[in-house]
Amino acid sequence: MAEARLYTYYKDEIVDKLIEEFKYENLMGVPKLKKIVINVGYGDAINDAKTLDVIAENVGLITGQKPVKTKAKSSVANFKLREGQEIGCKVTLRGKIMFEFLDRLINLALPRTRDFQGIPNKSFDGRGNYTMGIKEHTIFPEIDVDKASTIHGMDITFVTSAESDEEAFSMLKYFGMPFKK
């Protein structure tokens, strides 16, 4: 089975660029992309549980992996939310599936975003992880826009082994992430 195109590119090109830029002594010190977590929180699932099934199906189509439904951790009376009620879904991607998703995100989905100016470069958490939000799931080619009954967004978190935000930023930039200038 062939490895993902971006993983091959990471091994052959990105590692050398990162070693040159940050002067790593050891190959094991070079940051890696550990996992990508896609999370969809859908508040209206309180009133309409069937919609959450459709959203989970969409996330499954986009990622190629079955999502796990997430439940409310605590009750909030103002939102009519009970503890343990299903309010979203998430998927954790690793390995080959992760690199194939990243490839599709960078080369197919993001360029299809309306009025796309680049993704913000301020969304790092201080420990080398990056989170971005997508407003419409219909930018992914796997979703048929005509059949989409609800439009929902998603949060995509890139978990890296980088020590700092600068290292993670450089790595993601070398992968081809279209950051704002």
Domain ranges of the chain: 5-23+30-175
Class of domain 5-23+30-175: alpha beta
Choose among 131, 140, 133: nearest CA to 111. Answer: 140
List, in sequence order, the alpha helices (H) in the chain.
Answer: 5-9, 15-22, 49-63, 95-104, 165-175
Mean pLDDT of 145-159: 85
**Mean pLDDT estimate for the chain:** 86
The pLDDT confidence band at residue 158, using thresholds 50, 70 and 90, is very high
- pLDDT tens for 62-105 read 998 999 988 888 888 877 778 877 788 999 999 999 999 999 88
Residue found under tokens 């996330």? 59
**Confidence bin at 45 (pLDDT 50/70/90):** low
Q: Predicted confidence band at 52 (pLDDT cuts at 50, 70, 90)? A: confident
What mean pLDDT do residues 18-31 have?
90
36/159 Cα distance (integer angstroms): 6
Contacts for 81-88: CB closer than 8 Å, 24+ residues apart: 81/46, 85/45, 85/46, 86/45, 86/49, 86/52, 87/41, 87/42, 87/43, 87/45, 87/46, 87/52, 88/39, 88/40, 88/41, 88/42, 88/45, 88/52, 88/55
Q: Is the pLDDT assigned to residue 1 strictly greater than 70? A: no
Query: How high is the pLDDT of residue 152?
Result: 85
Q: Determine contact, residues 140/104, Cβ cutoff 8 Å.
A: yes
